[in-house]
Amino acid sequence: MRYDTTMVDRQVGRNAELFAQSVADLESPEERYPYLRILISLIDQAHPEWRQAPNKVARIAELAVQLSEGALSADEVEEVVRVRDKEKGYR
């Protein structure tokens, strides 16, 4: 299948990009939360070098916003990353 646009990030892939755009279409933060966790996991797996980076939260949020073509809120994504990291025992 051909697409009109180029991929934002080849490591994450086209499916994650389409997924991010679909997540952004959901109405409320409560509806988006579980899907944002999945999207964040996909980004984290595609970019393991970011796991120890001091600006990891901002990088993941920025990429998620780019993947969604600006439809997701960076603040919302950052909050989900922080909650996820806290649950995993990261600082």
Indicate the SS3 state at residue 29: helix
3 band by pLDDT with thresholds 50, 70 and 90: low
What is the average pLDDT across 23-27?
A: 96
Report the largest interatomic distance among the alpha carbons of the chain, rounded to a whole angstrom. 42
Task: Give, in degrees to the nearest 5, the angle at Cα 84 between 76 and 48.
Answer: 100
Percentage of the chain exceeding pLDDT 70: 97
Q: What is the DSSP letter of 28?
A: S
Q: Which residue has the tokens 């990891």?
A: 56
pLDDT digits (tens, 9 = 90+) for 28-65: 999 999 999 999 999 999 999 998 888 999 999 999 99
More confident: 88 or 1: 88
Neighbour tally for 72: CB within 10 Å? 21
| Both tokens assigned to 82 | 């922080």
**Domain coordinates in residue numbering, the chain:** 14-88
Neighbour tally for 34: CB within 10 Å? 12
6 band by pLDDT with thresholds 50, 70 and 90: confident
